[in-house]
Chain A
Amino acid sequence: MADIARRDLLTMAGVVGVGVAIPVAPATAEAAPKDKVQDGPAANASARCYQFFDLNEVAFIEAFVDHLIPADELSPSGTELGVTIYIDRQLAGAWGRGARMYLLGPWPAGTSQQGYQLPLAPADLYRSAIRAVEAHCEAVHGGSFDRLQPAQRQQIMLALSDGSLRLQQIPAQVFFDMAYANVMEGLFADPIYGGNKDKRGWRLVGFPGVMAAHAENIERFRGEPYLVEPLGIADLS
């Protein structure tokens, strides 16, 4: 039942512009010199078509990402910046399916120094971990992750990040570390991958992007701010 309700809510959100997963973009003109992320919520929702996540997972991942990157005076939320789309595309693609990983068995548990030892490609890990976190939320808090109070969600995020949350079959910290890294990638990777919308991740820190002929700049701007409009791969292609 809960599943259906959530799915309905999401569908509705796309149509009438309400719903938990669609935050507003309160960016100030100062923080966002060239803010293109100001289309209405409906436009945003329709831009968020997922290839990998199902609707339950969408509710989870949007809440997860927006907890890490909330909308505030510095930027719109992670979801608005395309971070969930970034993760979705990664999981649907070669990386998510385990490209460039050694996945052959046997798979006994190892020490933490031995690194990743699950038989799962990243996409499988996400799927199982989201299910396990949701099962925990239902059991302990009686509701899905996206419906928790911010303080409850914070508690779960902390317990995931330090591994103290016991999930069924999935090591919580292994999932959290992977997802956390992916969120940072979605915020700071070139916009061609679907995140870092309007280069808001780069604007946040002042990274100029792909134009990088600095042989003279390194002397001219030594100790001085270097303020330019950041450029990505698509701008030069």
Chain B
Amino acid sequence: MTTKLKEVDVVIVGMGWTGGIMAKELSDAGLTVVGLERGAPRSDAGFSVPMIRDELRYAVRNELFMDVSRDTLTFRNRPAERALPMRKLGSFLPGEGVGGAGVHWNGQTYRLSPHDHALRSRVEERYGKSFIPQDMQLADWPMSYAELEPFYDKFEYMAGISGKAGNIAGRIQEGGNPFEGPRAREYPNPPLKPSLASEMFTETTKKLGYHPFPRPAANMSRPYTNPDGIKLGECQYCGFCENFGCEANAKASPHITVIPAALRNRNFSLKPHAWVTRVNLAPDGKRATGVSYTSVLTGEEFEQPANLVILCAYGLGNVHLMLLSGIGKPYDPVSDTGTVGKGYCYQVATVVQAFFDDRIFNPFMGAGSLGVVIDDFNGDNFDHGPVGYIGGASIYSASLGGRPINQRAVPPGTPRWGTEWKKATAHWYNRTLQMSVQGSNMASRYNYLDLDPTYRNAFGLPLMRMTYNFTDNDEKLSAHLTTVAHDIARAMGPTHLGPRTPRRAPYSIVPYQSTHNTGGAIAGHDPGKSALNRYLQSWDVPNVFVMGASAFPHNSGYNPTGAVGALTYWAADAIRTKYLKDPGPLLHT
């Protein structure tokens, strides 16, 4: 029944950003590498005009995302509730197919702040131990910002990020983010051209004494050739960016950067339509022997033996596979023991809209990362004593696009239909400015992932179960920072101001909020409290490494992929320079 394939050095599960980087780095090191991807390959014609500019197909029917008829998760707010399946996509949109979610991301590419990497120590030192709420599982990251800096840099140059540095080797740079950690050099490309909304946000936040800077973008501000010799085009500000593939090859994505670079190595082979159902372990459970997968084209089952298994199946997919395969001990919130599924975090995101009678924004001229951001309220860049919560947010104006099914706003009080609605829609579509608050989220004891006892996927395997709710800390954060954003919008002098609607519990899985799911296989110093060590190596099965935001001990107020990319290069470096010399646990306990 099952075909056993020839053993390889490395099998990678999932071919998105993390899988693509690993494929390139490890095949460059001369290892035989197989990359398995459950979804389809990408063809050159896939994203061409005019068909790619189809809002219904890509942004409403979600063509490029995970198909939940085959596999989904179940969800509940609290352990006492019965979890039910996520029957349609909503709150977040996991990717599927070669390139993963890197195909249809926006491209906002940040570094976490140095404080994020040492969060617990920082909070205890500045505010005292008693400042930390009882159920908050606050931890330091097991690697510092300074250790990751070269790998952030490597990711940014590979992906051609357009931006303005704020701190080069300790010297603050005009126009950049003065709060950022020191970086070795400038971004590879200058910032994108500002929109009117960007200019208004910059002017107002400066007046208010804040420090605006252009959002760092994986949308190319000019044609770019990366260090691997991969050529990227210039962004056309087409406004069909997030949820879509880029027609102009101007959005750094794995399927046009790291994956073709890896494919130059004959020792790397890419297998699409290969759905990995488990990581196989030796009888003692301490070594992985490879993976099992099913061809979703033929239904055939295969076993791929490998010396090293690297999970790159997006954070949620990684945790699901670990639970299905028995890698590490599942987390139990009641006894607060076990590690796999622990520390699942999300983000606390809100939107503020402002309407200007006398302005024309042309919202359809935009790019996934176009906009301006302030970091004055992110991380620990402000005094949390008076506000009484931990964490922060990036607050930004976004000029993403003006796709009329989804990106349309009317002032509060407008009826939902009829002539009045039509008039308001016709008038305000071009006169609305949008701002966002992207709030951090701390791990909390009862927010976690495990296997569902009832529901199954197309392979007959249990779905993963998500138990998640917003906490008091999240509500305080959102109330404060949504007000800050609302005040910025008011200071611009709009004709109408949208409502101030901070996030409150209960969290709902229905409206889209962000595809920034983190935790579940967190990295840490202590094998009793974390699933992975600082090199993202499983404490329990040392020839398994687990990439992606699942390793984050908390979710910051930034988009995650800058840090995800940096951690992947950091882990690849540890595999190349440490693990291969002496395969086994890289840290001893």
Contacts and interface: CB of A to CB of B under 8 A. Distances in A.
Asked whether A and B interact, the reply is yes
B508 A101 contact: no
B417 A157 contact: yes
Name which of A98, A205, A209, A233 has the most chain B CB atoms within 10 A of its CB: A205
Interface stretch (B70-78, B150-158, B333-341): B70-78
B236 interface: yes
A189 B76 contact: no
Given A115-B510, A116-B88, 19 more contacts: A100-B62, A100-B68, A103-B87, A104-B455, A111-B81, A114-B84, A115-B86, A116-B87, A185-B56, A190-B53, A201-B404, A204-B426, A205-B404, A206-B426, A210-B49, A210-B50, A212-B238, A221-B362, A236-B50
A104 B507 CA distance: 24
Nearest to A157: B417
A75 B418 CA distance: 11
A207 B422 contact: no
5 contacts: A74-B423, A104-B456, A110-B84, A212-B237, A214-B236
A217 B365 contact: yes
Contacts of A223: 196, 359-361
B87 A188 contact: no
B60 interface: yes
A52 interface: no
Contacts of B77: 111, 113
B90 A115 contact: yes
Interface residues of A, number: 63
A219 B506 CA distance: 43
Given A103-B69, A110-B84, A115 B237 contact: no
Interface in A132-162: 157, 161
Interface string A223-235: 1111000011101
B402 interface: yes
Interface in B61-98: 61-62, 67-69, 72, 75-77, 81-82, 84-90
Nearest to B72: A102
Contact of B238 (A106, A161, A192, A214): A214
A73 B69 CA distance: 43
A24 to B, nearest CB: 15
A69 B417 contact: yes
Nearest to A189: B56
Nearest to B509: A115
Contacts of A108: 82, 84
B174 interface: no
Interface string A148-191: 00000000010001000000000000000000100011001110
A89 to B, nearest CB: 11
Contact of B237 (A75, A95, A102, A214): A214
Given A116-B87, A185-B60, A215 B404 contact: no
Contact of B87 (A102, A217, A226): A102
Contacts of A184: 405
A121 B218 CA distance: 38
Chain B interface mostly helix, strand, loop or mixed? loop
B195 A102 contact: no
Contacts of A225: 360, 362, 430
Interface in B172-203: 193, 195-196, 199
A106 B454 contact: yes
Nearest to A161: B416
B54 interface: yes
Interface string A54-71: 000000000000011110
Contacts of A214: 236-239, 364-365
Contacts of B238: 212-214
Interface string A64-98: 00011110101100000000000000000001001
B3 interface: no
B237 A218 contact: yes
Nearest to A67: B417
B56 A226 contact: no
Contacts of B359: 223
A111 B505 CA distance: 13
Contacts of A204: 422, 425-426
Contact of A99 (B69, B405, B429): B69
Interface in B433-452: none
Nearest to A98: B69
A119 B532 CA distance: 40
B56 A219 contact: no
Contacts of B234: 215
Nearest to A223: B196
Contacts of B49: 210, 236
Nearest to B422: A74
Interface of B: 49-51, 53-56, 60-62, 67-69, 72, 75-77, 81-82, 84-90, 193, 195-196, 199, 234-240, 359-362, 364-365, 402-405, 408, 416-419, 422-423, 425-426, 429-430, 454-456, 506-510
Contacts of A206: 426, 429-430
Nearest to B505: A113
Contact of A68 (B235, B402, B418): B418
A218 B84 contact: no
Given A106-B454, A206-B430, A210-B50, A189 B68 contact: no
B87 A117 contact: yes
Nearest to A213: B236
Contacts of B84: 108, 110, 114, 117
Nearest to B71: A102
Name which of B72, B239, B240, B364 has the most chain A CB atoms within 10 A of its CB: B364
A51 to B, nearest CB: 18
Contacts of B455: 104
Contacts of A95: 61
- Top 4 nearest A-B pairs (CB, nearest first) are A210-B53, A205-B429, A212-B238, A68-B417
A208 B364 contact: yes
Given A111-B506, A214-B236, A214-B237, A189 B55 contact: yes
Contacts of B365: 212, 214, 217-218, 221, 226
A86 to B, nearest CB: 9
Nearest to B419: A72
A214 B68 CA distance: 35
Contacts of B51: 233
A112 B496 CA distance: 30
A172 B454 CA distance: 28
B435 to A, nearest CB: 18
Given A111-B506, A112-B508, A212 B53 contact: yes
B473 to A, nearest CB: 19
Contacts of A68: 417-418
B69 A207 contact: no
A95 B57 CA distance: 11
B405 A185 contact: yes
A58 to B, nearest CB: 20
A215 B248 CA distance: 11
Contacts of A221: 362, 365
B88 A115 contact: yes
Contacts of A205: 404, 408, 425-426, 429-430
B28 to A, nearest CB: 34
Contacts of A110: 82, 84
Contacts of B418: 67-68, 70
A108 B76 CA distance: 13
A36 interface: no
